[in-house]
Amino acid sequence: MTTTLHNQFDSIIFDLDGTLWDSTANVALAWQAAISKVDYIDELMTVERVKSITGMTYDAIFDKLFPNLDTEQRKEVQALCAVSELEILHTKGGELYPQLEETLKYLGTKYKLYIVSNCQSGYIELFLDLNNMHAHFLGHQCFGTKGNPKADNIRDIVNVHQLKAPVYVGDTMGDYTAANQADVPFIFASYGFGKVPDGMVATIDSFSELTELL
């Protein structure tokens, strides 16, 4: 952790994957099951491949993973993966980062808490349902809702909930860029999947460090 930011914000907006939990192992299983249903893909879906695209919009993910497919094939694979992902995660879930709930409980006494992710519709709800996290968050937005980029979804949360001094917590360069475009300060979660060299107001090496930082 690089500094303290007491009393500077009224709200915290969180990224999900790589910030609140790590579902990549089970997403890889789900996507492998999905692509096995088509005869034009002969590839292995690994955790490393899933981590490499974490934070991208759901459409962009499949453009990057399967650049050689035609548009219709890519749409079919994306649809199959979307269904399989929610089905498998509903059973297996993801790995919550250490002291997640305790930290959220503490932060919720001082700040309004939200989630903005580039995931498909239903993914944030699954996370909240599976881990009994609804009580901690006042709202959420994702790419799947309107097809908008993360910066627009951050702005939506800020505007709809009339936030005066929000901060965004995320783990990738895409998170930083979106927060910057939305004029929201950025806290870098270095324990996640990406790297952000500079521009953040603080860096945390574990989720629980937010209790001291904020």
- Looking up residue 113, the CATH number of its domain turns out to be 3.40.50.1000
From the list 143, 149, 196, 147, the residue with the least C-alpha distance to 170 is 196
Structural element, H or E, at residue 188: strand 186-189
Residue 174's pLDDT is: 94
The reply to whether 155 falls in a domain is yes
- Co-location of 72 and 170 in the same domain: no
The reply to whether 51 falls in a domain is yes
- Co-location of 197 and 116 in the same domain: yes
Phi and psi angles of residue 168, each rounded to the nearest 5 degrees, phi first: -110, 135
DSSP-derived pairing of the beta strands 95-96 and 21-22 = antiparallel
Burial of 156 (0-12, 13-18, 19+ CB in 10 A): middle
pTM recorded for the entire structure: 0.94
Residue 107's pLDDT is: 98
| Neighbouring residues of 146: CB distance < 8 A, sequence distance ≥ 6 | 152, 153
Q: Return the amino acid letter for 152.
A: D
- Co-location of 160 and 196 in the same domain: yes
Check pLDDT > 70 for residue 165: yes
Tell me the per-residue pLDDT of 24-81, one tens digit each, with 9 for 90 and over: 999 999 999 999 999 999 999 999 999 999 888 888 999 999 999 999 999 999 999 9
Confidence of residue 21 (pLDDT cuts 50, 70, 90): very high
Q: Which phi-psi region, left, alpha or beta, contains residue 208 (left: φ > 0; alpha: ψ -120 to 50)? A: alpha
Residue 125 domain boundaries: 11-22+97-213
Q: Which of 92, 119, 140 is the last residue of a domain?
A: 92
| Neighbouring residues of 46: CB distance < 8 A, sequence distance ≥ 6 | 28
DSSP state of 186: E
Indicate the number of domains in the chain. 2
Q: Name the least confident of 53-57, 80-84, 126-130.
A: 53-57
The reply to whether 134 falls in a domain is yes
